Structure 1
Amino acid sequence: MRQLLPHPTDDVDPLPTYAVDRPRPAGRPWVASLFASSADGAAAVGGRSGPLGGAGDLQVFRAVRAVADVVVAGAGTVRTERYGPVRAVEAAADARAARGQARHPRLVVVTRSLALDPDQRLFTEADGTTEAPLVVHPPGAPLAARRRLQGVAELVEVGAGPDGGVAPAALLGELDRRGVDVAVCEGGPTLNGGLVADDLVDEVCLTLDPMVVGGDAPRIAPMDGVPAAPRAWHGAFLLEHDGVLFWRLLRDRSRP
């Protein structure tokens, strides 16, 4: 891994590189979104983001997760990517403990319908070293589904948005109430798109893979029916590994 910007540097370790201060906005956590995209803008290959980014992406993925108090993902992403419990690697867990964080981030699953199976890995592979997943749902989530997940997760109801799903501001308000300072959002695109549309993302960690995919794969932050609203961002640094680029972008809130 090497750094291209702002100053060329060889042999960069992503773990300390991403472990920087993230000032908590008033009333909500700092939100960092993890995105992966092909050169032609596809957010998935064969329905999954895993094929994008290669070995370097795994290093950056672990480094960004290492700063999180919670890792937030939509239920569809959790199912498709076969999430297990979120565990930091040993070096990251030690660094987290030294900073006063829990050794591992807590997983937060956002779902409209609670279409989660108690036999999924994130529930069955829990071994007591991590907190039970926090499952956030709107008022309309089915009662039978709530009962099915009792005992394997902590369920919390928050306000719904216009589409009936969890409102992004309500999600962050709940995390704020729980004292979360840094939330890392891993998608999918619908969850990321809602946060971007409401201008609630402070940081984007973007993997740019030189692969050209074609087809009708989704974009990284689709906002169906919402007019585009370009906002001011700036690049903090740009890393490279085996031709894949890793760009850390920060929202410039001094400008619209």
Structure 2
Amino acid sequence: MSLENQVIAVTGAGSGIGRATAMYLADIGARVGLLDIRSPQVVAEAINQNYGENRAFACACDVRSSADVDKAFQSIVDALGPLNGAVNLAGVVGKGRKLGTEEGRLKDLADEEWERVVATNLTGTKNCMRAELQCLSPAGGSIVNTASVAGQQGTPYNSAYAVSKAGVISLTKSVAKETGKHNVRINAISPGVVDTPLLDSFTDDSSRPGFMANTNALGRAAQPTEVAKLIAFLLSNDSSYCTGAIFNIDGGW
């Protein structure tokens, strides 16, 4: 599988799955435009040092702002050229969610917290997709969104997150039906538990082993690079007949 000289935008590229995806895509030949709410310049510098100059370009972008998104994507096109693909990984979970507690239940959920999560995960994905579709090469390309098993099954004490990810699933399927005739494929990954800072935000050292053992058939969290490899497959021509699909990577949830 190769993405040699393909220009791929990655949101949420500063850490976690986004960082791992950016590094992996560069490793298999892609040129990557990196976006995060704080400029992922450190990631871009690491890629350019390891794989050659002008392989990565970084800029700050708040995906909740359509104006910010449009400006950031134009900067990527100016630096690297039209996009061949994009990965929308920017996202947040609910504040204060801790395993084994009832923090985050709907009856206590502030409007501001609901809006923060939905604006980032769902509206942010919409904003990025709209910009990406305008920045894609005339030949078409592939967009990969980030859903979650929470969006498929629901998650107690984190309803805003689950709703936002269910929305991403519907958005992915809907827009894929608009763009197929233009040779643009749109799919989504649906991770379970991944070993990233987001996992640390709602587990601790004492609760994590039991959570892992009881959550999925494999009894462990995914590593970010495992998710990155699925994303790379969906960006590549190896998945040329896949669109409007949701790909679970959840260890047998």
Q: TM-score, normalization: structure 1?
A: 0.31
Bigger helix fraction: 2
Greater per-residue strand proportion: 1
TM value normalised by structure 2: 0.31
